[in-house]
Chain A
Amino acid sequence: QQQVKQSPQSLIVQKGGISIINCAYENTAFDYFPWYQQFPGKGPALLIAIRPDVSEKKEGRFTISFNKSAKQFSLHIMDSQPGDSATYFCAARVSGAGSYQLTFGKGTKLSVIP
């Protein structure tokens, strides 16, 4: 099963709040889990990524939490800012067997209101 399920579809957060976006997967062969940020009219840009050998990765205000047994991972945006308003996609990839295609979730539109 190649799907990556992402929720919520949309999210409204007050400035300074915590934004949490969740993803779940079925394929246990996935071994690379990036998050992409997409602003209107732009292509997706890599935000942060994690591999399944760690449970958490933090870069500035962005943290990925990874639960291998539950096959879930989430993005936490601390102290959310209006400039964080964008669509966020989780993705997953199987790096072995010559396959490097990314499978994306459906995206979460985040709006951070002042």
Chain B
Amino acid sequence: EPEVTQTPSHQVTQMGQEVILRCVPISNHLYFYWYRQILGQKVEFLVSFYNNEISEKSEIFDDQFSVERPDGSNFTLKIRSTKLEDSAMYFCASSVDRGETGELFFGEGSRLTVL
């Protein structure tokens, strides 16, 4: 069964450092998303991406964050200068479309720990 894969599974970084989280969405999917889940909290939307541009972003997704699809398969989330409060599980998701069959498939997540 096709799945969304994410790397790394866990990253520990020092505050102020740059972090890149990588995702390989399901191959025929066109819409890509990043969500995050702070430990014990709800899953929160960060950004959606379609046709090589951001289609929607939340208030959380400030100038410290950026997304990119550098090639035909990877979808990355970059945090430019990490803060303690960026510690969370980051989930990548993808969907075929946004309509009736727009089910989101989530990856297993990348746990980011900022020290």
Contact = CB atoms under 8 A, between A and B. Distances in A.
Interface of A: 34, 36, 41-46, 49, 89, 91, 95, 98-107
Contact of A43 (B4, B56, B103): B4
A99 B55 CA distance: 8
A101 B103 contact: no
B17 interface: no
Interface residues of B, number: 25
Interface of B: 4, 31, 33, 35, 41-45, 48, 55-56, 58, 91, 93, 98-99, 102-109
Q: Chain A interface secondary structure, helix, strand, loop or mixed?
A: loop
27 contacts: A34-B103, A36-B43, A42-B109, A43-B4, A43-B91, A44-B91, A44-B106, A46-B105, A49-B103, A89-B42, A91-B43, A95-B99, A98-B55, A100-B55, A100-B56, A100-B102, A101-B56, A101-B58, A102-B35, A102-B43, A102-B45, A104-B43, A105-B42, A106-B41, A106-B42, A107-B42, A107-B43
A100 B109 contact: no
Contact of B108 (A41, A46, A98, A99): A41
Pick the most buried of A99, A101, A105, A106: most chain B CB atoms within 10 A of its CB. Answer: A101
A104 B104 contact: no
A46 B43 contact: no
A103 B45 contact: yes
B32 to A, nearest CB: 12
B109 A98 contact: no
Contacts of B44: 104
Nearest to A32: B102
